[in-house]
Each structure stands twice: as C-alpha cells, then as structure tokens.
C-alpha cells in the first residue's frame, strides 16, 4: 500500500513540475487515500491548489494537514510547510487590513514549528503590507468622513444634488459604510429619483441589517411608489431593530390607512391589527407591536396634537440619549480591549524578535563550528601526509643500511 502511495506521489510530483496541476491533484488525492498517515500528500495538493488559484481549497488542505500532522506527531517541517502555504493562500484572499491577521498568525505558527528564512521574509512582507493597507484605509476613512460631513452640510441647506455628489465620493472611499447609502437614499427621495433611492436603501440594509434608517428609507420609497403592502412589510422589518420607534409606528398606521382607503373605507387601530394578523408575525413581535400601538392610541386620546408631539419628542430624545451613552460605554470598553490586545501583540513581537536574534546567533555559532571542523580536517590530512612521508624516508634509510 505504501509503495503504491509512493508511486502516486512521484507521479503527482512529475505532473506538478510540468504544471499539469489537475493531474497532480488526482495523484495526490489517490496517494492520500492509500497512505493517510503521510501528510505530504495534503501539503503537495495544497501547493497545486495554490497555483490553480483555488485558495479556499488550499487553506482546507493545509488545515487538515496541520491537524493530522499534530495528531500523528509528523515532522515539524511538514507542519510548518502546511502553515506557510495556508498563509500564502490567505494573503491572496485578503481584501482589507484585518484579513491579513489570519495569514500573519499562520506564518508565526509556521516559524514556531520550524524556523525558515523564507517564512520569516514572508512574515515581514505580510506585516509591511498590512501596515500599508491600514494607513491607506485610515486615509480613505478620513476622506470618506470629510465628504459625508460636507454632504450633510449641503443636505441641511436643501442642496440635495450637491449632497448626493459628496455622499457618492464618500462611498468611493468607504463602500462599506451604511450611513452614506442611507443619506444618499434620502437625497434621491427629495430629488424624486425613487428607483435610485430604493437601490441605496437596499444596499444600506445589506451592509447592516440592524441599521434602522435603511428600513425607514426603503419603506418611505415604497410608500411614495404606492406599494403600501411592501412598505408595511419593510416597516415591520425595521420594527425588529427598535420596537418602540415612533417613526416606524407612524409609518405602519399610514400604510394601514392607505391600504384601507384603497378598499374604500377609513382605517382604525383594529384594521391595522387585522392587516398585521394576515402577515403571520411571530408572537413576540406581535405582542410588542400590540403594546406599542395601544400606548400610542392612549396617548392620542389623552393629549392634544401639540402635547403628543412634545411627549414623543421627549421620549425619542431619551431613547437617543440612552443609546448614545450605551455606545460611549461600549466604545470605551472596545478601546480598552484593543489597547490590551495591542500591548500583548507588542510583547509577542518583542519575544519573537528575541527568538529570531537567538536563532541567528546559533546559526552563526554553527557556521563557526563547521569552519573549525573543516580546518581540523585539513590539519589532520596534513599530519597523515607527513606521517606517510616520514615512514617512506624511514624505509629508504633501512634499505640503505
């Protein structure tokens, strides 16, 4: 079985050298089945996948090789090789600075398994690349914040076209910020570009499904398009983000009124409950909505329109204040956690540098010893030559006597 597996490995290696990668993968796969204790089949197949740009398959094989290698107490060099190849694949998949972290960890683990100058150079290169991308991301975020702020200024001035242009520039610098899509959607709504507004609102929700404004923008566009049922469903999705949000509750009432009006009658709270009941909501959400609706009806009966607005404004202000304080506390905790992680990382980096220096010293000592051994061998050979010469002279002297 092992002999047959070895033949598969040799055939795979031959195909790999000729860049017949699919053929190499087939040979390595058969070899791995024949000899599952030899993880080199997995590392070799990972190398083929790497050249084929099948990076996820490469990472999968490397992870399996590392896990199996540690279980079988395989040669550390093979485990280190698997980790190094995994890092190479992860580097190819990296799209932002944070994506470099798994690759860097894999390279550090590879060095811990077996020191290699090539792996160390690859680690240095990955860390430099991450720093460069982090700096570029920082500059892009600053530019994105600048354009978002300018867009908000123009929006306040009701210059919606200019505001939308700045939000577009902000998206180019940071296409993953749901806020700018929400803001530009609002601009499109005021400009009457409802299709573009709906597209931005959908993108906002896609980026952050917990960001309420995305649902508010989308529902508003759907309402203006007379798609009241769709708008109602979107408001219900937004209700999951904040069951007590007054704008969502008001939107639900307006949608119910329009749906009822389209059927030739006026809407009441009971009509809204009936419409919502047809949507088969889960019990928890239904209860929360029922409670919020009941509270809204009571407030409306007990207070004038002006007083209701004041009460709702104060309630919203308290909610926003609580949310802000909660975010401040969370940000503080996150900053403290990041600071601790950064300190630990710096300590690990210092330890890594110390280990690298020690390894270099050991390598230098090894080279010195090899040099001394070479000198001793030459001296020994010279002594043997002198010994032979003396024996020859002695023999000649004996013959002359």
Whether residue 280 has pLDDT greater than 50: no
pLDDT for 291 equals 60
| Residue 392 in domain | no
pLDDT at 323 (0 to 100)? 62
Q: Are 221 and 185 in contact (CB under 8 A)?
A: yes
Separation in Å, CA 216 to CA 85, 99, 354: 47, 32, 56
Distance CA 27, CA 21 (A): 10
Among 206, 236, 265, the domain-final residue is 206
Same domain membership, residue 7 and residue 101 = yes
**Residue 121 pLDDT grade (very low, low, confident, very high; cuts 50, 70, 90):** confident
Same domain? 41 vs 72: yes
How confident is residue 48, by pLDDT bands cut at 50, 70 and 90?
A: very high
**How much is the mean pLDDT over the chain?**
82
With a cut of 80, say whether residue 224 has pLDDT above it.
Answer: yes
192 and 278 co-located in one domain: no
Q: Mean pLDDT throughout 251-265?
A: 78
Tokens 């908000």 belong to 152
* Separation CA 144–CA 138 (nearest Å): 10
pLDDT grade for 160, boundaries at 50, 70 and 90: very high
| Arithmetic mean of pLDDT, 294-313 | 56
Q: Using alpha carbons, select from 231, 228, 227 the residue that is nearest to residue 215.
A: 231
Q: Which of 206, 236, 251 is the last residue of a domain?
A: 206
Same domain, 14 and 73: yes
Helix axes 212-224, 246-262, angle to 10 degrees: 20
Are 200 and 256 in a shared domain? Answer: no
**Which stretch, 77-81, 215-219, 341-345, 358-362, has highest mean pLDDT?**
215-219
Asked whether the beta carbons of 211 and 205 are under 8 A apart, the reply is yes
pLDDT band of residue 180 (cuts 50, 70, 90) is very high
176 assigned to some structural domain: yes
Give the separation between CA 221 and CA 188, rounded to whole angstroms: 9
Looking at residues 29-35, what average pLDDT do you find?
90
- pLDDT higher for 383 or 321? 383
Query: Mean per-residue pLDDT for 253-271?
Result: 68
337 within some domain: no
Report if residue 16 sits inside a domain: yes
Confidence of residue 289 (pLDDT cuts 50, 70, 90): low
Residue 279: which pLDDT band, with cuts at 50, 70 and 90? very low
**What is the predicted pLDDT for the residue at 203?**
95
Q: Is the pLDDT of residue 272 over 70?
A: no
Burial class (CB in 10 A: 0-12, 13-18, 19+), 103: buried
* Structural contact between residues 238 and 219, judged by C-beta atoms closer than 8 angstroms: yes
Top pLDDT among 66 and 292 is at: 66
Query: pLDDT class for 292, splitting at 50, 70, 90?
Result: low
Where does 157-264 have alpha helices with state H? 160-173, 178-191, 194-207, 212-224, 228-241, 246-262
Residues 66 and 44: their CA atoms lie apart, in Å, by 13
- Position 364 in a domain: no
Same-domain check for residues 103 and 6? yes
Q: Determine the average pLDDT of the residues in 368-372.
A: 85
Residues 14 and 69 in one domain: yes
Domain of 167 in residue numbering reads as: 134-206
Hunting for tokens 């690990």 — which residue is that? Answer: 348
Instruction: Report the 10 Å Cβ neighbour count for 110.
Output: 27
Q: What is the DSSP string of 320-387?
A: HHHHHHHHHHHHHHHHHHHHHHHHHHHHHHHHHHHHHHHHHHHHHHHHHHHHHHHHHHHHHHHHHHHH
Kind and range of the H or E run holding 304: none
Residue 143 pLDDT = 87
Q: What is the pLDDT of residue 281?
A: 47
Question: Is it the case that residue 328 has pLDDT exceeding 90?
Answer: no
Q: In this structure, are 202 and 230 located in the same domain?
A: no
Answer whether residue 278 shows pLDDT above 60.
Answer: no
**Distance (Å, whole) CA 318 – CA 314:** 6
What is the predicted pLDDT for the residue at 214?
A: 94
**190 within domain boundaries:** yes
Which of 104-118, 206-220, 226-240, 272-286 holds the top average pLDDT? 206-220
The single residue listed with the structure tokens 């811990």 is: 112
- Residue 370: its pLDDT value, please? 85
198 shares its domain with 230: no
Query: How far apart are alpha carbons 135 and 140 in whole angstroms?
Result: 9
Query: 3-state DSSP call for residue 261?
Result: helix
Q: What is the DSSP letter of 228?
A: H
Same domain, 158 and 190: yes
pLDDT at residue 395 is higher than 60 = yes
CB 182 within 8 A of CB 198: no
Q: Is the pLDDT of residue 301 over 70?
A: no
The answer to whether 259 and 229 have CB atoms below 8 angstroms apart is yes
Supply 14's token pair.
């031959």
CATH number at residue 199: 1.25.40.10
Once rounded to an integer, what is the mean pLDDT over residues 101-121?
Answer: 85
Residue 327 pLDDT greater than 80, yes or no? no
Q: Which pLDDT score is estimated for 303? A: 47
Over 70: is that where the pLDDT of 316 sits?
no
CB atoms within 10 A of CB 247: 18
Q: Is residue 231 part of a domain?
A: yes
Q: 6 with 102, same domain?
A: yes
Distance CA 172, CA 181 (A): 11
Q: 234 and 188 in one domain?
A: no
How many structural domains compose the chain? Answer: 3
pLDDT category at 310 given cuts 50, 70, 90 is low
Q: State which of 305, 320, 335 marks the end of a domain.
A: 320
| Element holding 295 (H helix, E strand) | helix 283-302
Within 10 angstroms of residue 272's Cβ, the number of other Cβ atoms is 21
For residue 250, being part of any structural domain is answered with: yes
The DSSP annotation for 45-66 comes to: HHHHHHHTT-HHHHHHHHHHHH
Between 133 and 208, the more confident residue is: 208
- Residues 50-97 pLDDT 10s: 999 999 999 999 999 999 988 888 888 889 988 988 988 888 877 665
């Amino acid at each position: 079985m092992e002999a047959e597996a070895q033949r598969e490995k040799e055939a795979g290696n031959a195909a790999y050298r000729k860049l017949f990668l699919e053929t190499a993968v087939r040979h390595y796969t058969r070899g791995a089945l024949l000899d599952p204790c030899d993880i080199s089949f997995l590392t070799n197949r990972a190398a083929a996948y790497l050249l084929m740009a099948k990076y996820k398959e490469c990472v999968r094989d490397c992870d399996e090789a590392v896990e199996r290698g540690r279980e079988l107490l395989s040669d550390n060099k093979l485990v280190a090789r698997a980790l190094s190849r995994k890092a190479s694949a992860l580097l190819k998949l990296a799209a932002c600075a944070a994506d470099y972290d798994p690759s860097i960890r894999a390279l550090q683990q590879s060095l811990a398994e077996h020191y290699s100058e090539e792996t160390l150079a690859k680690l240095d290169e990955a860390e430099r690349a991450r720093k460069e991308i982090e700096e570029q991301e920082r500059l892009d975020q600053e530019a994105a914040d600048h354009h978002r702020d300018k867009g908000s200024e123009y929006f306040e001035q009701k210059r919606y076209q200019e505001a939308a242009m700045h939000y577009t520039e902000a998206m180019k610098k940071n296409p993953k910020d749901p806020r700018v899509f929400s803001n530009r959607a609002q601009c499109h709504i005021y400009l009457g570009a409802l299709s573009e507004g709906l597209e931005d609102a959908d993108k906002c929700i896609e980026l952050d499904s917990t960001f309420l404004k995305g649902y508010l923008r989308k529902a508003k566009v759907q309402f203006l398009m007379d798609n009241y049922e769709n708008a109602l469903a979107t408001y219900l999705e937004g209700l999951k983000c904040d069951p007590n949000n007054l704008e969502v509750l008001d939107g639900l009432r307006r949608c119910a009124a329009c749906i009822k009006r389209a059927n030739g009658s006026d809407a009441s709270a009971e009509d809204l409950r009936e419409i919502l009941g047809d949507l088969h909501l889960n019990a928890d959400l239904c209860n929360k909505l029922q409670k919020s609706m009941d509270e809204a009806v009571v407030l409306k009966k007990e207070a004038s329109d002006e007083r209701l607005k004041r009460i709702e404004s104060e309630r919203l202000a308290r909610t926003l204040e609580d949310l802000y304080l909660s975010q401040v506390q969370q940000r503080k905790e996150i900053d403290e956690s990041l600071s601790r992680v950064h300190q630990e990382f710096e300590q690990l980096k210092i330890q890594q540098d110390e280990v690298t220096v020690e390894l270099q010293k050991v390598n230098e000592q090894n080279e010195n010893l090899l040099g001394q051994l070479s000198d001793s061998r030459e001296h020994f050979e010279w002594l043997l030559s002198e010994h032979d010469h003396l024996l020859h002279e002695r023999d000649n002297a004996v013959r002359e006597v």
